[in-house]
Amino acid sequence: MEILITKTAGFCFGVKRAIDIAFRIAREKRKGVFTLGPIIHNPQVVEKLAEKGIVPIHDMRTKKDIKALIIRTHGIPLNISRELDSKGYEIIDATCPFVKKAQYYAKLLSEEGYQVVILGEKNHPEVKSLMSYARKNAIVVNAQSCLPKLKNKVGIVVQTTQPLEALKKVISEATEHAKEIKVYNTICNSTAQRLRETANVAAKVDVMFVVGGKNSANTTQLTKLCKSLSVPTYHIETSAEIKKAWIKRAKKIGITAGASTPTWIIKEVKVRISDIGG
Amino acid sequence: MEILITKTAGFCFGVKRAIDIAFRIAREKRKGVFTLGPIIHNPQVVEKLAEKGIVPIHDMRTKKDIKALIIRTHGIPLNISRELDSKGYEIIDATCPFVKKAQYYAKLLSEEGYQVVILGEKNHPEVKSLMSYARKNAIVVNAQSCLPKLKNKVGIVVQTTQPLEALKKVISEATEHAKEIKVYNTICNSTAQRLRETANVAAKVDVMFVVGGKNSANTTQLTKLCKSLSVPTYHIETSAEIKKAWIKRAKKIGITAGASTPTWIIKEVKVRISDIGG
């Protein structure tokens, strides 16, 4: 049996940076440091960080002993950001710099008078933060939605983990409505490259494993992509989930992983496949 | 036999305006008034205007008795415009206001640091004028071309008579290259409406006649559209070109016409079809 692993599997620049910041703070063993929501969308990493003393909180109003807050990779909405400022907490900003850029462009488009269209998943924290920067009249669409009636001047900004094809679709639809369109393609290069490489590997194998948080947007994108290529695909968080039956007849197995999946989990998946695949 | 004529056939706003200006000047019987190039892309109208004393010149340097120049619907390049200013001729500007808008946006995009992409036919006078406003680094593409390597910041402006589908294609390709795209959809509504209506009529008939100048970009677009719908299609300038054999077996015949085709020519075509189709 042959196992192919995508080169881009695992931590992207933004996640690596956030994890480095969080574990550095953890080493300082300070009291009262929390992350506001899970720092990245990977439960195993979040657990490891909690073991070092930094746990996520979801509502700062319910917590009394806060001294410092680490902002997660996906960023936070502008109103929360202002609330944090007013409370005087120390802020350790681990927002991915590419998400920061998307926030900036959402704000800019709004200030320039565009009706802002955000391509992304509306319940994702990154998209919620983009919404707050784009302010009134902004709408969120995904690759499946049909655009509602838009204004004549439309600005488009994108959740960093969306596929390019979805952006092309949204722009094409917006062209039916608006006479002026400004697009900031804020899809991060690492996402685009990972999608391309995953498609290449998926085309060569009998079974595909996508490793990463079930709540991770970019991991879910990878799973969707592999399924669309008609390869039997399993989205798993850890090696423990793998069933022998899945790989019984497979000669070539592919592994890819989301931007928030640590290398040790990918390695464990590889070892487990080798073990049970014989 | 039934004859269907598109409601939008014939003069658009910009052409009507230019013709009104030119014939008004003609009525004044002034000496030394010329159009710089044919006022519109319809030889029959240009001929009628010449009978009234206003003829087109192509190079003002070869003409000595110029007093005033009428600028045609398609506009003129910026350098020619400056040359005219320096010569002190009276300028009567019959440029279509929608073309003026496209010129303005080409200039704006260039000033804002975008690499300007003009969707259109590179030898068309309107596109030549847009090129001059977009200045250095601007490129012209049409629906058939593949985009060359572009800069990271691309601005798109469109010849007013292009079809929307071509614009969608170019934007989609530009999305592969650029991170920031600004689009001014300068396709005029009249063109879009005429294309839609022509497609509707073409779908219902056995033979389609497209009436208009052979050098008219929007008339050529209509012909292309009808042919793409697999209807036998004839692009004619006048009724004299119609052959009996073309309509021998036709039960329903469609007529559409470009933005620069006068009503009297469309009527003549209808009469001739009725006569020979009997």
pLDDT at A253 over 90: yes
pLDDT at A63 over 80: no
Does B195 lie in the same domain as B156? no
ipTM of the shown complex = 0.85
At which of A80, A95, A110 does a domain end? A95
Pick from A178, A179, A185: CB nearest B175: A185
- Which residues are B90's β-sheet partners? B68
Would you please indicate which residues of A are annotated as catalytic (active-site) residues?
A: 126
Pick from A180, A184, A185: CB nearest B184: A180
Strand order in the sheet with A207-211: A2-5, A252-257, A207-211, A233-236
What is the C-alpha to C-alpha distance for residues B40 and B233, in angstroms, rounded to an integer? 23
> What's residue B278's pLDDT?
61
Contacts of B182 in chain A (CB under 8 A): 180-183
Does A32 lie in the same domain as A45? yes
What is the C-alpha to C-alpha distance for residues A237 and A47, in angstroms, rounded to an integer? 13
At which of B72, B95, B118 does a domain end? B95
- State mean pLDDT over A248-268: 94
CA distance B105 to chain A (A): 10
Q: List, for residues A90-132, the tens digit of each pLDDT value.
A: 999 999 999 999 999 999 999 999 999 999 999 999 999 999 9
Inter-residue contact B122 to B218 (CB < 8 Å): no
Does B116 lie in the same domain as B79? no
Does A117 lie in the same domain as A197? no
Q: List, for residues A161-173, the tens digit of each pLDDT value.
A: 999 999 999 999 9
- State mean pLDDT over A57-86: 89
CA distance A134 to chain B (A): 17
Q: Do A180 and B180 touch (CB under 8 A)?
A: no
Number of neighbours of residue B66 by Cβ within 10 angstroms? 17
Q: List, for residues B112-166, the tens digit of each pLDDT value.
A: 999 999 999 999 999 999 999 998 789 999 988 888 888 899 999 999 999 999 9
- State mean pLDDT over A199-221: 94
Assess A172–B contact: CB distance below 8 Å, yes or no.
yes
Does B124 lie in the same domain as B86? no
Assess B175–A contact: CB distance below 8 Å, yes or no.
yes
CA distance B25 to chain A (A): 35
Does B106 lie in the same domain as B89? no
> What's residue A205's pLDDT?
97
Q: List, for residues B235-260, the tens digit of each pLDDT value.
A: 999 999 999 999 998 999 999 999 99
Among residues of chain B, what percentage have pLDDT more than 90?
A: 83
Does A91 lie in the same domain as A114? no
CATH no. for residue B22? 3.40.50.11270
Does A59 lie in the same domain as A34? yes
Tell me if the pTM is above 0.95.
Answer: no
> What's residue A146's pLDDT?
84
Question: Smallest Cα–Cα separation from B12: which of B130, B226, B187, B270?
Answer: B187
Question: Which regions of chain A does DSSP assign to beta strands (E)?
Answer: 2-5, 33-36, 55-57, 68-71, 90-93, 115-119, 139-141, 153-158, 180-184, 207-211, 233-236, 252-257
At which of A67, A95, A123 does a domain end? A95
Q: Do B175 and A184 touch (CB under 8 A)?
A: no
CATH no. for residue A116? 3.40.1010.20
> What's residue A60's pLDDT?
78
DSSP characters over A21-84: HHHHHHHTT-SSEEEES-SSS-HHHHHHHHHTT-EEES-GGG-S---EEEEPTT---HHHHHHH
Q: Would you put residue A230 in left (φ > 0), alpha (ψ -120 to 50) or beta?
A: left
> What's residue B143's pLDDT?
85
Does A74 lie in the same domain as A131? no
Mean pLDDT (chain B) is: 93
User: How many CB contacts within 8 angstroms connect chain A with chain B?
Assistant: 49
Pick from A171, A180, A186: CB nearest B175: A171
User: Tokens 């292309």 — which residue?
Assistant: B224
Q: How many domains does chain B have?
A: 3
Does B163 lie in the same domain as B120? yes
Does B194 lie in the same domain as B273? yes
Range of B182's domain?
Answer: 98-187
Q: List, for residues A15-39, the tens digit of each pLDDT value.
A: 999 999 999 999 999 899 999 999 9
Does B86 lie in the same domain as B19? yes
Assess B61–A contact: CB distance below 8 Å, yes or no.
no
